[in-house]
Chain A
């Protein structure tokens, strides 16, 4: 059932629907079950059922969050509001779900502690068992649906992305992991490319053509002309990684719910089997329920009375430890959930914090760049992960003159490429005449007052005093401004400034397929 659900045929824009379809399917099921549970609880007037149904509702909310994130993340075009597109939405969705789950764990914990102090009996255990089993089935189904994005994850490392392998184009990729989402996804990618462009290169999520220009003569790595030569892992990693986070969030929610259902069913079964309830008629003594004020009185009364006369007709409510089973199991469940949620929380938080992805070593990158011939200094080196395998880097490279820079520019990009950083912005800086000492300093900082507003302002300290060979990783723009006019060497050559008026027909839509 799961496999059949997930593995759709190749072709057609269904790869993304795969994720969406699963989410929608689960959403519908869960909501339906929630409604059923509410109705049943009203019919049987069981409060426990009603409160359990709201666990399903929290599931629904988590699914909605994930769906919204998936919808957003498909819009990878740059817009006026977001120059990167919305690819990060899934990471945020994952974080929101993880925090939501943590909060729910917290409330379950509180409830469990409350139950310790005031144990409840389960009323109508049969009904509870019935509905609990139904809920468990639905949750197991959900687990199945989202299994690939399970707790361990695929374990795809980003290291695949830059290996530069070339795979023969084929309709189906035999080396794909079984199941589905990813395979169908890639098939869709390739077929999209084939449909729209004669010579397609790379992969895209949109149906537009790839401009097949080459920026430099990296012929060996160029894959132009051969439609579809692209490393499959690239797509896989990309789609997997950030989508994976999102789906993991959903999976954890469903998992938590499943655990909850298991506990409910187990508890109800044991209760049904072992509990000796108080019959409605006849005296009954329940030793498990603490009632300070009346406890001792009742106890002595009933026992005293019983000792004298019919002892056997006093029923004592069943083994007390049963009442404590529920909170204990809940505690265990909370621990399990927290333990499995924490990695997701950490991962998505690290991406959102603009940290360096864990497979990249900035120190070695820095040293590689600096040892290039023609590179005098490297500063403001920033690497961060947008989402998935899209890693972005910026750096300021100081070179003696423009022609040197031309020579090393390709090498620089290669070095970044080897690390898996493909979107880079390299700013060349040329040493101003006569400022040999200014090696470590940024040639183009903003004004002095802006130092604190810069991304790497000198709020901490001005590390610009260090030279390029220092161990400091990146040197912030100095507060001491190198007077900009000095670097203007254009007095001798006047540049014709071609002034063109802004054309009225500017396209308002800064849309691009990304």
Chain B
């Protein structure tokens, strides 16, 4: 918990503050018999809930122990927590919107605007403190060398990809993390990773706090208007419509900042390709690695917070091909910002298409349970080009389970004809005559 105490401390502080204010509002609401106070205090309760979710998922994620129940640890908890917070907030916004519409249909005046004004101001103060707490440290932190404090996230709407403050802003969190990797100290990438994943967590909480702050602003504005221009017993005039209309505007503002968060967490949770990675480029580069005849089942996804994971199957001619290629493949991935790669080598046999897995599972029956069906290979590339997928491959032959050492060159493939390219090193002879490609 050492180096993460900054974030957690802030959350705990905010939690304590919110609890205190909630209790105070509740008590004063009952004593003063003001429903407005009581209902406003329950807004704080929703804040509390989101804080608890944020804190607990942060805790869970941080104890990313790999164990028998979770081989990747629980680092994704923050993404899940952020999504939950965002959805929770959306639901609350929906309810608030509904109430505002009802109020528009039947406007009511605020009675006792003074009390509402006071409480609203207090609530606003608490929320502003919260917003500041989550932001301020970042501003002052980045100037230091960020030894012990992970940088705070910038305001909710701002981009989280850029390193705040002092670090060079030129590096967006592109696929090319690598220029930094080699130069910056070990803390650098860690901080970015920490920042990115924690940022999701904090963003969820921040959204709630911001929503609350906006609500307090609306309350203050409406109460001020009623205070300054008291209505007395007159029927409702334009003043009564201020509150609901402002509320609806507020709902839109909150929703517009909640959706980007939902989108970002979806990218992680739906196993999408992380933002900085260009699959086309990546597979192009991979296909060009010498020794790789083709590749398929390429999967790239983000675990959480900048940790990208890739798996792929490559087809090689020989095991030595594989070992050479493995290093270069990792290098390609490393440059793309993906550092956990698992490569499955398959050796070419003439029975199977270059683009299909030689060893999907032990039986065809499992096809539906593979992550990707074997009938049309996903993101498969052969060296130099991609094969267009026919709907029915003509060669429906049975594979007799030829040994993987069988490296006969496929001759009958339709691929063969259009693959003659600039072959520079083809004359580099080898010990194995089989490797003379028919394509030359």
Contacts and interface: CB of A to CB of B under 8 A. Distances in A.
Given A362-B71, A457-B307, A510-B378, A500 B87 contact: no
Given A214-B400, A391-B369, A500-B383, A410 B362 contact: yes
Contacts of B271: 82-84, 88, 386
Nearest to A61: B94
Given A210-B364, A413-B361, A502 B94 contact: no
A106 to B, nearest CB: 7
Nearest to A222: B363
Contacts of A222: 363-364
Interface string B52-70: 0000000000001111111
Interface residues of B, number: 158
Contact of B95 (A104, A204, A210, A473): A104
Contacts of A144: none
Interface string B307-323: 11101110001111101
A425 B368 contact: no
A363 B83 CA distance: 31
Contacts of B309: 455
Nearest to A78: B378
Q: Is the interface of A mostly helix, strand, loop or mixed?
A: loop
B58 to A, nearest CB: 14
A384 B421 contact: no
Nearest to A100: B91
B220 interface: no
B91 to A, nearest CB: 3
Contacts of B371: 84, 386, 390, 392, 423, 514
A502 B351 contact: no
Interface in B363-396: 363-381, 383-386, 388-389, 391-393, 396
Interface in B272-292: 272-273, 279-280, 283-284, 287-288, 290-291
Interface stretch (A12-20, A279-287, A311-319, A484-492): A484-492
B422 interface: yes
A413 B362 contact: yes
Contacts, number: 464
Contacts of A198: 396
A395 B311 CA distance: 10
Nearest to A392: B371
B373 A513 contact: yes
A86 B363 CA distance: 24
Interface in B63-108: 64-74, 76-77, 79-80, 83-84, 87-88, 90-92, 94-95, 98, 102, 105-106
Contacts of A212: 364, 396-398
Contacts of B139: none
Contacts of B313: 425
Interface string B111-129: 0000000000000000000
A458 to B, nearest CB: 10
Contacts of B364: 201-202, 210, 212, 214, 222-224, 230
B141 to A, nearest CB: 19
A213 B83 contact: no
Contact of B362 (A218, A235, A426, A500): A218
20 contacts: A47-B106, A83-B279, A110-B39, A352-B79, A409-B359, A427-B343, A452-B190, A453-B306, A454-B307, A456-B72, A460-B65, A477-B340, A494-B429, A498-B439, A500-B288, A503-B386, A510-B283, A510-B379, A512-B373, A512-B389
Given A352-B76, A456-B340, 18 more contacts: A83-B378, A83-B379, A100-B91, A103-B92, A107-B95, A118-B35, A215-B359, A215-B360, A215-B401, A292-B33, A380-B340, A386-B271, A394-B311, A425-B311, A425-B344, A453-B193, A460-B65, A507-B388
